[in-house]
Structure 1
């Protein structure tokens, strides 16, 4: 950690918002001299203020303390590079089309690695009118269930969230070119081409 870099970043972020040192200090309930001290590289924000600063500036805490905002490489949104994430605490589902860092419930989420279908984890597709009716022979209990199913094709992602104690079946619009993904809360992500 570089105290001067961190101070320069705080100054940059404050100025981007058009705030004076006094206005930032008022939001943090500290003196403007303290903000001035940080910006001149004469000290770090107190640990109790780092989270509040991150929230005010809408930046990651670790980047604030490192004194630099790291940019991702330009993401052209290549849908073939889709990556799914599932929070083990709240079961929130996220996905991205490029390299990213996902955080939920205070934890860094690791990307789910798709595996081939198994006998216990198979999606059965049936055409019904202009839809796919997709069923699973899988339990849907509170601790072990299919959490989501997604069809990923050329330029779209159709994702359906599923919940314990509901039927292990969904109906999604018919797409012929693409991959089907589904996530078991115990055994991970599966892919059907």
Structure 2
């Protein structure tokens, strides 16, 4: 571990958060001389302090230990590169429009890849007012249900969260084209061309 690189990064992140060395020291229950020592490159944080230090500074612990943060590529604005993530611990649904490092419940999440469409539930869509009313042929038990449905079109993502023992339906604003994504907790992500 390069203590000089780590120290420079800690100082940079601390200043970005408008924190003093004393703020960091008080939060970690150590002396502010210790934080100063890190920032000067005269030592590195004790292993037991890394998780809390990374939380305080809002940075991935692994990258902080390496002394540099690898930035993601800028979002090119291409909604066709939308990626969905589901936390295996809490079930949170997260979305990005390009490559990203997504973390939830302390874990780095991998984006969902569409599976075999032969197992995908059948859908029907009917116009209702200004929306499509979409129905899935799918059980919605606690052990087997659709967690979310998303319609991706132009510059928008319409995300509908579904729950066990709920009707497998959602409403999507009327538009032509786009893709419809459905995530079943057992069978994974399915993609449908959607023209309404």
> TM-score normalized by structure 1?
0.91
Q: Distance in 2 between matches of 1:88 and 1:25?
A: 34
Question: Do residues 123 (structure 1) and 123 (structure 2) align?
Answer: yes
Q: Give distance in 1, aligned partners of 2:165 and 2:82.
A: 28
- Report the Cα offset of residue 57 of structure 1: 1.4
Q: Distance in 2 between matches of 1:17 and 1:105?
A: 22
Matched, 1:166 2:151: no
The answer to whether structure 1 residue 101 and structure 2 residue 101 are counterparts is yes
Between 138-147 and 21-30, the greater mean CA deviation after superposition: 21-30
Query: Contact 2:72/2:101 (CA < 8 Å) preserved in 1?
Result: no
Query: Given that residues 131 and 171 in structure 2 are in contact (C-alpha distance below 8 angstroms), is that contact kept between their aligned partners in structure 1?
Result: yes
**Could you tell me whether the CA contact under 8 Å between 2:119 and 2:187 is conserved in 1?**
no
State the match for 1:147 in structure 2: 147
| CA RMSD, Structure 1 to Structure 2 (Å) | 1.7
| 1:116 Cα offset (Å) | 5.4
Matched length:
193
1:7-65 deviation digits (Å, cap 9, x = unpaired): 11112222334444334322322112211221222222122221221122111111211
In 2, Cα distance between equivalents of 1:2 and 1:160: 46
SS of alignment partner, residue 59 of structure 2: coil
Matched, 1:39 2:78: no
Residues 24, 70 of structure 1: alpha-carbon distance in 2 compared, 3 angstrom cutoff: same
Q: Distance in 2 between matches of 1:120 and 1:53?
A: 44
Q: CA deviation at 1:113?
A: 0.9
Unaligned runs of 5+ in 2: none
CA contact (8 A) 1:132 1:171 kept: yes
Which moves more between the two structures, 109-118 or 75-84?
A: 109-118
TM-score by length of 2: 0.90
Q: Which moved more, 1:14-23 or 1:109-118?
A: 14-23
Distance 1:99 1:11 in 2: 27
